[in-house]
Chains A and B, each alone.
Chain A
Amino acid sequence: MLIAALKLSLLYWLLGILDTAALGWQALTRPIVVCPLVGILLGDVTTGCILGASLESLFMGISAIGGSIPADATTTSYVATAFVILTGADIESAVAIAMPIGTVLASVTMLPYGLFSPIQGFFTKLLQDNKIKQYEIAVWVFTFISPLINTVILFGCIYFGVDALQLAIASLPAWVMTGLGAVSSMALAVGFAILTSQIMNKETVIWFFVGFVLVKYVNLDTVAVAVIGAAVAITIFLLEKKIIENKGKPESKEEEEFF
């Protein structure tokens, strides 16, 4: 059990880095890839493949909405496949418990995001001090270290079982979980504020609120807002273009003096 848990944790750690940080595919962390690989490591490829098919169908429609993931497909695939192959449980019962496991794990795997936010200041500082090589090393080291918390959690889930994880979470004071959740959803405002302060000026700031209201009140998605925004931008562009073109003509001279 210990060896199996170690092997799977290592796979989870490296595959996550390869898939998200190095390739950017978000394909190798899907159940249909994870389960067969876990099967290979634990010596039962067929079961891994069949579970991969079942879990992929189960998780197919579930995607991240507004930054919160309802159930984590990746960690669930590891735990459920290990559960079936190591304990000999049947696949149906593994699929049945997959969703509750996924919900617990999703709430845990999101936590480091808020926790690690302050490191960003250090990264920017390195670049501003022209320490480019150090920056490159630092972001990669961070990429390797930051999934370790989740890797340890996954190890615990396989070695001690998911019930133990639930107990451990329950023993944390409630304010820690609530607080970290609040930090995650508010930390994004820092990023948007930096962006806003860069591109905002007196003439354009009002359009921030137009975009905001279109989403909050009208519930449009960003593509729809972009179409409206593009129409506004193109109209203003064409108006300005006309003004510039007219400036070249002699009859507009009076107007220029007037202004």
Chain B
Amino acid sequence: MKNMMISADEKKLLRKVEIRSHTCFLAATMVNMEGNGFTFSLIPAIEEIYKDDPEGKKEAYTRHQQFFNTHAVPFSFIVGLAWAMEKEKKEKGSVDGETISSVKSALMGPTAGMFDNLFFNCLRIIAAGIGIGLAQQGNILGMVMFILIYGVPQSIVKMWFCRLGYTYGTAFIDMMFSTGLMASFTKAASILGIMMVGAMTAQMVYVPLNLILHIGPATLEVAPVLDAIFPGFMSIALLFGYVALIKKGWKPINLILLTMVIGLVGALIHIF
């Protein structure tokens, strides 16, 4: 592929982003998980790309503040890819913000699943097996081996992945754009993206409803009834309630405060 060579300036920037992409769990909250790590990793890139476009910069930062969550290693690949997409968006206008968000959402679930299995469930077990063997005899080398086998390789792969995401991302978008297929790609990416958001919502969002209605002498538990109608009904209702509020111009901070009030008051009056 052409475009795989990168200039000296890009190399410098790449090094910065690579190092920063180690901080994927930086300031993680329940609202956007690795969103701050993602933003922090991309700061040098976004500052460079949008240095004369304050409005675009603001949009880019807001975009990467969104919820993000995957395994730490493919995190770097997606950071590199997002960087390439931001660059193409600004320089050639070939990508829009929606596509960047869609591609990120589409990738986080499956990469998390794949790399959790590869690193957490495979390499970690191997490293622990070797480490435990040594540590059982009171040997400090057990600890050292565990770090060398499980910790250090993550950094090496991350460095490589970041570069891979950036170079291949640029080449891929150029190819799509030159063949006039960017609009089709955008649509396909947003379908996959929204589907993964649906899957992750089903997996992670949970409304711990514990409401019991007293109708005369009879009691009725609400949660099982709702689940019988549509499993996870409350999670979907909550999510689209928030979406409606966002469309009305509600700020995320107010949504979070609302959640805290609902949670605590709800627990106080025995809804949860």
Name A residues whose Cβ lies closer than 8 Å to a Cβ of B.
20-28, 30, 32-33, 36-37, 45-47, 49-50, 52-53, 56-57, 60, 63, 66-67, 113-114, 116-125, 127-128, 130, 132, 135-136, 139-140, 142-143, 146, 175-176, 178-201, 203-205, 207-217, 220-223, 225-230, 232-234, 236-237, 240-241, 244
Contacts and interface: CB of A to CB of B under 8 A. Distances in A.
A176 to B, nearest CB: 7
B188 A234 contact: yes
A185 B75 contact: no
A28 B151 contact: yes
B66 A195 contact: yes
Interface stretch (B85-93, B217-225, B252-260): B252-260
Contact of B198 (A28, A191, A210, A237): A210
B64 to A, nearest CB: 9
Nearest to B253: A121
Contacts of B204: 66-67, 188, 192
Contacts of A237: 181, 184-185, 187-188
Nearest to A124: B65
Contact of A189 (B22, B235, B268): B235
B226 interface: no
A187 B31 contact: yes
Contacts of B272: 178-179, 181-182
Task: Give the interface SS of chain B, mostly helix, strand, loop or mixed.
Answer: helix
B155 A33 contact: no
27 contacts: A25-B154, A25-B155, A30-B124, A49-B134, A49-B142, A50-B135, A50-B138, A53-B142, A57-B132, A114-B263, A136-B40, A143-B27, A181-B272, A189-B205, A189-B238, A194-B32, A195-B67, A196-B243, A197-B243, A211-B196, A211-B199, A214-B199, A222-B196, A222-B200, A223-B114, A225-B109, A236-B184
B196 A226 contact: yes
Task: Give the interface SS of chain A, mostly helix, strand, loop or mixed.
Answer: helix
A27 B200 CA distance: 25
B4 interface: no
B54 interface: yes
A194 B252 contact: yes
A130 B62 CA distance: 11
Interface stretch (B9-17, B99-107, B164-172): B99-107
Given A120-B32, A211-B202, 10 more contacts: A24-B37, A32-B135, A50-B135, A63-B121, A113-B30, A117-B31, A139-B36, A185-B206, A222-B203, A236-B188
A183 B259 contact: yes
Interface residues of B, number: 120
A208 B199 CA distance: 8
B24 interface: yes
Interface string B208-250: 1000000000000000000000011001101110110111000
A128 B62 contact: yes
Nearest to A191: B67
B161 interface: no
Contacts of A234: 188
Nearest to B133: A53
Contacts of A26: 72, 120
Interface in B126-161: 128, 131-140, 142-143, 146-147, 150-151, 154-155, 158
Contacts of B255: 190, 193
A53 B199 contact: no
Interface of B: 22-27, 29-33, 35-37, 39-40, 43, 47, 54, 57-58, 61-63, 65-67, 72, 75, 97-98, 101-102, 105-106, 109-110, 112-114, 120-121, 124-125, 128, 131-140, 142-143, 146-147, 150-151, 154-155, 158, 180-181, 183-185, 187-208, 231-232, 235-236, 238-240, 242-243, 245-247, 251-257, 259-260, 262-268, 272
Contacts of A241: 181, 184
B154 A27 contact: yes
Nearest to B266: A182
B241 to A, nearest CB: 8
Residue from B120, B140, B188, B265 having most chain A Cβ neighbours under 10 A: B188
Contacts of B200: 192, 211, 222
Residue from A189, A204, A225, A226 having most chain B Cβ neighbours under 10 A: A189
A30 B128 CA distance: 9
Nearest to B262: A186
B73 to A, nearest CB: 9
A198 B63 contact: yes
Nearest to B76: A24
B172 to A, nearest CB: 13
A120 B143 contact: no
